[in-house]
Chains A and B, each alone.
Chain A
Amino acid sequence: MSGESEFEQVLELDDDGRLQPVSMAFEDFFAAHHQAVLSALAITIDDPELARDAAAEAMTRAYQRWGDVSLHRNPAGWVYRVGLNWARSRLRKFRREVRRHDLDLDRPVLPHPVVDPRLDAAMALLSVDHRAVVVLRFHLDWSEATTAEALGIAPGTVKSRTSRALSRLAEALEETDADQ
């Protein structure tokens, strides 16, 4: 393996003298990562309930095939990606089926007292793709390489999406400041 990664695999010899990655127990993985995956998904798709369902679905799939998933360099990245894809599928389906009945009436959402409402509003302007790189890079603190691997995109794409997302956030904040 090459490239930076926070999830360097530990290898050990098996009985036949072949190197094999050492996997951790699913329970340990779940305890260490489920909350981070859930919060990352919730921020990315901006829907906590859907994020919870997505995280549960992704964790279930990971549990079903833990023998394989555990050998990934970053199982949490795998779970995040599965959850994100699942949530997007649900969002597409939901939009397709409900939009036709929806008169686009925005409902008021009460801001959380400790969350910067300016950044919150600015984040909402980003696409899901851009929010995903922001969340993985700045919330989970993953490197570009690990983020790229988790999202299944090239590191260069992570770099460009991050740059554009940060620019967009800065622009939105400046507009907000100018309005005030």
Chain B
Amino acid sequence: MPINDDLSEFLEAKAASIDVDPIDLAGIRQRGRRRNRRNRMVGVGAVFVLVIGASVGVRTLTADDSGSDVAVGAAASGPASDSVPPPDPTVALPTSTLGPNQSSTESTSSAAAVPGVNVGTPIVVPWGDGFLSWSTIRESPTLDLLDPSVADKFPPEIIAAVRDAGATTLEESVEALRAAGLLELATQIVTDDPDLLDLYSQATNQGTTRFVAQTSNDGVTWQEIDTSLWPAVSPSGREVVSDGSHLLIAENPGDGGGGPNSASTIRINLTTDLETWSTIDLAPPSQFEGNPHVRSEAWLSSIAIGPDGWVAMANSNVWLDIESLIPAELRGVSEYRVDYKTDGVTIQIHPQTPANPTDTFTFTWDELGIDGSELGPDFSGDQTITTIFAADWDAEPTVAVDTAGLGRFREIVGTDSGYVALTQRTGEVESNLAYSADGMSWQAVATPGIQRVDALAAVDGGLVVSGGTNSDLGLWLGGPDGAGLVPVTLPEIPPGTSIRFNTGSSTLGAAAIVDLTRYSAFDPFTVDFDVTIEQDGIAVTFVQRSDGSGWLKAVDSATGEVLLEQPLGAENQAESPVTIDAEWLTLSDEVGDLIVRLPTVEVEKKINAARDAAIAAAQSDRPAPEEMVPDVRLVASRDGVNWLVTSAPDEAGSFPDAMAINGHTLVARFGSDFQTFTLP
């Protein structure tokens, strides 16, 4: 019979017969939010969004949304959160000295003592022999507490904790909840309730913000510095790098691009003393200058400091302005399908449905003033073009040459001898390395044994690479030109872990937070069990162990004499004293005389029951499914040879917002607080 005639009907009936609890949308959303929140806690930009109404403080997090695998890293680079207000020189405070809060243990905590709460991603960089850090602070507003409509959503202990502490501001409430060990619970309640989250997010927008920069010689005692002469820096697209004596803050000023051939620019702000700044605007060259059908937008991608200067990398997105190619009356009101071909582009207009195009327009690349090869043979609507600017400290920046054939540059780090770039060729998944002594002329670096590079970090005298093969990831240490990479073994980090460094610290060290957190549902699940069956005065015990071993033992119940002890797995084989058939399990002694016969069905039932009981017991001892087993490590080194691997600092329920290394000291910043570590 034609089987498929009945198959659909059978499958429909089969589906209807499935008896299982439905999936709950609310549960999915809750679990997804919880995971996202956990993931973000590992992100670069932990930022207080203080939440209070019924006197509840909440710490939520923004910025990096990269997922759950790994981590953030050292020093101070990275895009700022969009929520960061630009530092405004007009509101910067005059120089003042903050109270010291000092101790001298290997891992030392200190508070910056700047009143208010971070509302953006804090920055920490090496500066001089110490550190420089800044952030935007929002002063905590005073709040009306105990609004019943909000207070009713929280358990009494949360309300009592804040009330008993006499907290009247967001910040005070957070501190009260943290001290009472209730901050995580409050966070969960608020983040799981969209109405509460909206309400409290509105509350956090109250209060004035100001830009606060501080310096420290040791990472413990911090002094606020005058930033009135600092340039205004936009909150988006910002990259920061310092080698301790030069500080670069790069950005995309304004939106810049978007219009046809708009000259979007990259702005570099440079200082050596934190008082006098030079500003350099860079415009990536466009080969489509003046073409009304091509639009482009450039954005800052990476900056690095080398031994004699700096480099900045910009990516320009170039795309066809389809609207400029169709009649004016159809613009903005039509859906259309665009097919890019090697010789041009075809546009089908769909005023009603995609199946019934009413107009088709075809243009060759020549007609559009575009050489198709300029946009690449695989052009499919938009394309990214990378431009690298390089400059010595006392020279004007110029566009790098000789990058052809090296693929797309993804990031650049400065080393003791020049620059190393992480590159990726078109169509390839694996990434590679390129080196330049001056930022202008680049050549590929051989990486034998390393198919894929995930991240780079410059260290004293060399370069640390995170990568390997898809099945064997690890750390590698090479020279400052990226050559001669040799594996670095960190016993505490499982093989296969991808470690993402932040490379903003130039040549001063590598650090990362590595998240090895697991969910209990994925824990190995093994059980041991045994069962004894009595028959005709003989006790037969079957033993199974989680390492895979198993055996049986027959004992004379009256005398205790062991009559047979035999590993399981060789039943029914020649010379085996154990035979099994559908009816009997038979044990014989070494000369073949019968010891005992057990009914096979009975044996199976009892072994099954014992196994099920052991599994049930093991499951009852396990954490609830999906429960997190947190395991987060701080991995850092100043030279790539000697490493600190320790539990990640978790000062306030989240991981550091920023880290930087200078000499043997690593500083981690949590909101307004700092923690220092001594590196070997």
Contact = CB atoms under 8 A, between A and B. Distances in A.
A138 B8 contact: yes
A56 interface: yes
Nearest to B350: A11
Interface in A1-60: 8, 10-13, 16-19, 27, 30-31, 34-35, 38-40, 42-43, 48-49, 51-53, 55-56, 59-60
B131 to A, nearest CB: 35
Contacts of A10: 335, 354
Contacts of A52: 20-21, 23
Nearest to A34: B23
Contact of A19 (B10, B22, B23, B322): B322
Given A39-B18, A100-B544, A63 B32 contact: yes
6 contacts: A18-B382, A60-B32, A101-B529, A101-B614, A116-B6, A141-B8
A73 to B, nearest CB: 13
A82 to B, nearest CB: 13
Nearest to B9: A116
Nearest to A112: B17
B530 to A, nearest CB: 11
Contact of A119 (B7, B32, B321, B527): B7
Interface stretch (A143-151, A152-160, A165-173): A165-173
Contact of B336 (A19, A43, A114, A169): A19
A116 B10 contact: yes
Interface residues of A, number: 56
Contacts of A103: 604, 607-608
Given A102-B611, A173-B3, A120 B14 contact: yes
B323 A17 contact: yes
Contacts of A12: 335
B517 to A, nearest CB: 15
B582 interface: no
A63 B28 contact: yes
A92 interface: no
B13 interface: yes
- Interface residue SS majority, chain A: helix
Contacts of B4: 138, 166
Interface string A103-132: 101000000101110011001000000000
A164 interface: no
A16 B11 CA distance: 47
A13 B332 contact: yes
B33 to A, nearest CB: 8
A115 B19 contact: no
Interface of B: 1, 3-4, 6-8, 10-23, 25, 27-29, 31-32, 35-36, 39, 258, 295, 319, 321-324, 332, 335-338, 354, 381-382, 522, 524-527, 529, 544, 546, 548, 550, 604, 607-608, 611, 614-615, 625
B15 A139 contact: yes
A172 B35 CA distance: 45
B11 A135 contact: yes
A171 B646 CA distance: 61
A134 B120 CA distance: 52
Contacts of B27: 56
A56 B23 contact: yes
Contacts of A39: 14-15, 18
A174 to B, nearest CB: 9
B524 A97 contact: yes
Contact of B525 (A19, A31, A35, A94): A94
Nearest to A55: B23
Contacts of A112: 13-14, 17
B3 A169 contact: yes
Contacts of B6: 116, 119
A11 B357 CA distance: 14
Nearest to A162: B4
8 smallest A-B Cβ distances: which pairs? Answer: A39-B15, A63-B32, A112-B17, A139-B11, A48-B20, A17-B323, A119-B10, A138-B7
Nearest to B337: A11
Interface core residue of A60, A135, A138 (most chain B CB under 10 Å): A60
Given A13-B323, A60-B35, A100-B544, A19 B381 contact: yes
A180 interface: no
Given A30-B25, A97-B526, A105 B17 contact: no
